[in-house]
Amino acid sequence: MYDVVIIGSGASGGAVAYTLCKTGYKVAVLEKGRLIRRDEFSKDELAYCRRDLVTPNLFDEYHTIEEKVDGKWVATPTYESGWSFWNGNIVGGSSNLMSGMLHRLHPDDFRLKSKYGEIEGANVVDWPISYEDLEPYYDLTEELVGVSGHYEKHQYEPPRSRAQFTQPPTKENAVVKLLDKSCQKLGIKSLVTPRAVLSRDKGDRNACYYSNFCGSYGCSSGAKSSSREALIKPALATGNLTLLTNTHVKYLHSESKDAVKYAMAVDTVTGKERRIEGKMFVVAAQAHESSRLLLNSANKYHPHGLANTSGEVGKNLIFSGGGSGQGELHKDSLKDIKFEDLMTTGLFVNRSILDWYFVDDWWDGKFKGGSVEFMFEHQNVITRARKNNYKEGKLLWGKELGEHVVKRMTEQKSIRFEIFNDWLPNDDCFVSLDPTHKDKYGMPVGKLRVEGHPQDVKVGKYIAKKCEKILEEMGAKNIYSSVSSAPPQNLVAGGCRFGNDPKTSVLNKYCQAHDVPNLFVADASFMPTGGSVAYTWTIYANAFRVADHIVSVLRTVA
């Protein structure tokens, strides 16, 4: 029997495993995917982006997605739509594949209801903890996992206990000179983006080698601050971690109301099942799958799902609101910087804008805004070559197509912005069990209803107009933006929100199940609201906080 069994090896599972193993406890991490070593990662667009090398085949394992059609909810299996909600089923999870643009939540993100009051149609609540509770763990993540950047004071930049980042910013493309100058002219403050990428060597991890491919790809230098590199590897080195790969947990078995006895797991290669026992269990399978696992763990002691006497498991699922936009910087019209410098590959844009994180000057009053990241368009060659190959509404072909693609690749470069704003929790965004569809292991698949709140789109469009003005000032052409209520599959949270009241929340403030004391949920499931930044830094920080509490509990029961 292990002291702690952890389901999932991503950012949260890795942080818990690291802390417990370093403290001397025996831990098992059950990972559905396989281990890909550092030197195995490649930049193969076909493998990673078109053939889903690191995610399940949708005909074997899938979800059903509910969307409103003509006023009725219609569920479509993802093997029909091709809309995958799997994210990096490998050791280290999706932290291997992130772009690594990280921000802390703002202190007011922890008290949105207190700041703005009720929002019609939204289930906004304050968090049971404050920014001050989490700040030491943001700092720990920065040092231990590795976050590069440069702190500059800003009204919406959260306070820090450490004056400056432990790693300086990654190298920047010359376009930042043009971007910064344009923002300054418009009265906008551009900030250096904190990034989960090492700019200097750290232990056995090498600094970034600027391959030009971060998002969607694993890192072959160890520079990206993934759970696999920063946490799982050193946890294994303690001798206290048993890493069980290709191990999918079907359900958690309980033989009483207040304790999980074992995890029923299946070997994804051989199909053999086994029981894995532990004193404590930590679910860290990614928010929608963590809820599904708890619901699939129903039995006579927990008829509505494990830890679900509140009926809240799966409810208030959140994604990230916002959208994106883009413009083209052309050789014949570029200003302030040299075109050769713009075309230098690999270097980051590394700029964020927080000026609209909270908005007090709009015509219908104050509202929660969002953050913006600037970057170049993704460098996937196939994707870039396929874009905009039309002239006067007709598809280009032959020599004309070839000349068009070469010109696009060599005489212009597209700069992109991504907007992150709150996805307001609401009654029509949740995960449940599909009553008719099952995966290849015989378990009901998750059914995700993914309706957003109208406010999300309103905020995104407000910010998109501001960003388009920046691109205009930079001299970009063919500017456009797209903001919709469609959820990004790689940014999912909620479903097991934490709180002080067992009647309205699944977990207590330490992410321990109200109903089942030896069960914790450490991934982004705990979040009642998501803030207006990507979740990864908060997931890491909170998981370290949860791990410290688990250690204190283990010590009292030893």
Q: How far apart are CA 29 and CA 6, in angstroms?
A: 5
HEC letters along 28-57 = EEECCCECCCHHHCCCCHHHHHHCCCCCCC
By the 8 A CB rule, do 132 and 50 touch?
A: no
Whether residue 81 lies inside any domain: the answer is yes
Domain, as residue range, for 308: 1-91+228-319+439-450+488-558
The conformation of residue 256, written as its DSSP 8-state character, comes to S
Residues 80 and 13 in one domain: yes
pLDDT value of residue 390: 85
Q: How far apart are CA 356 and CA 354, in angstroms?
A: 5
CATH of the domain at 527: 3.50.50.60
Per-residue model confidence as pLDDT tens digits over 17-76: 999 999 999 999 999 999 999 999 998 888 888 788 899 999 999 999 999 888 899 999
Q: Which among 363, 344, 302, 307 is positioned nearest to 514, based on CA atoms?
A: 307
DSSP 349-402: --EEE-TTSEE--STT--EE-EEEEEEEPP--HHHHHHTT-EETTEE--HHHHH
If DSSP codes are grouped into helix, strand and coil, which group holds residue 58? coil
Q: Which among 359, 353, 356 is positioned nearest to 370, based on CA atoms?
A: 356
Residues 258 and 373 in one domain: no
Higher pLDDT, 365 or 264: 264
Q: How far apart are CA 476 and CA 263, in angstroms?
A: 55
pLDDT value of residue 50: 79
Residues 382 and 481 in one domain: yes
Residues 512 and 528 in one domain: yes
Whether residue 22 lies inside any domain: the answer is yes
Residue 475's alpha-carbon distances to 330, 336, 378, 480, 481, in angstroms, are 9, 10, 20, 14, 16
pLDDT band of residue 557 (cuts 50, 70, 90) is: confident
Per-residue model confidence as pLDDT tens digits over 396-429: 889 989 988 898 889 999 999 999 999 999 999 9
Residues 340 and 468 in one domain: yes
480 has pLDDT over 90: yes
Instruction: Calculate ∠ Cα 148-149-154, nearest 5°.
Output: 150
Whether residue 107 lies inside any domain: the answer is no
If DSSP codes are grouped into helix, strand and coil, which group holds residue 542? helix
Residue found by looking up tokens 């971007």 in the block: 179
Residues 64 and 46 in one domain: yes
By the 8 A CB rule, do 555 and 151 touch?
A: no
Tokens of 91: 């050791």
Say how many C-beta atoms besides its own lie within 10 A of residue 363's C-beta.
4
pLDDT band of residue 481 (cuts 50, 70, 90) is: very high
Whether residue 145 lies inside any domain: the answer is no
Q: How far apart are CA 148 and CA 164, in angstroms?
A: 10
Whether residue 428 lies inside any domain: the answer is no
Higher pLDDT, 382 or 159: 159
Q: How far apart are CA 278 and CA 301, in angstroms?
A: 19
Residues 52 and 27 in one domain: yes
Whether residue 351 lies inside any domain: the answer is yes
The mean pLDDT of 424-440, rounded to a whole number, is: 97
pLDDT value of residue 389: 86
Q: How far apart are CA 195 and CA 215, in angstroms?
A: 12
124 has pLDDT over 90: yes
Residues 6 and 74 in one domain: yes
The mean pLDDT of 312-318, rounded to a whole number, is: 98
Which phi and psi angles does 135 have, rounded to 5°?
Answer: -55, -45
By the 8 A CB rule, do 80 and 67 touch?
A: no
Structural domain count, the chain: 2
The overall average pLDDT reported for the chain is 95
Which residues, in sequence order, are CB contacts of 397 under 8 Å at separation 6+?
A: none
Whether residue 138 lies inside any domain: the answer is no
Residues 477 and 409 in one domain: yes
Q: How far apart are CA 115 and CA 110, in angstroms?
A: 10
Judged by phi (left if over 0) then psi (alpha if -120 to 50, else beta), residue 360 lies in alpha
Per-residue model confidence as pLDDT tens digits over 178-234: 999 999 999 999 999 999 999 999 999 999 999 989 999 999 999 999 999 999 999
Residue found by looking up tokens 């009725």 in the block: 72
364 has pLDDT over 70: no
Strand partners, 253: 262
pLDDT value of residue 306: 98
Which of residues 462, 486, 510 is at a domain's end? 486
Whether residue 86 lies inside any domain: the answer is yes
Strand partners, 520: 282, 512
Residues 310 and 327 in one domain: no
Residues 256 and 315 in one domain: yes
pLDDT value of residue 360: 78
By the 8 A CB rule, do 283 and 292 touch?
A: no
Residues 236 and 301 in one domain: yes
The mean pLDDT of 528-532, rounded to a whole number, is: 96
pLDDT band of residue 365 (cuts 50, 70, 90) is: low
Q: How far apart are CA 76 and CA 93, in angstroms?
A: 26
Tokens of 333: 């019209």
Which residues, in sequence order, are CB contacts of 462 under 8 Å at separation 6+?
A: 356, 359, 362, 369
Q: How far apart are CA 540 and CA 535, in angstroms?
A: 9
379 has pLDDT over 90: no
pLDDT value of residue 362: 58
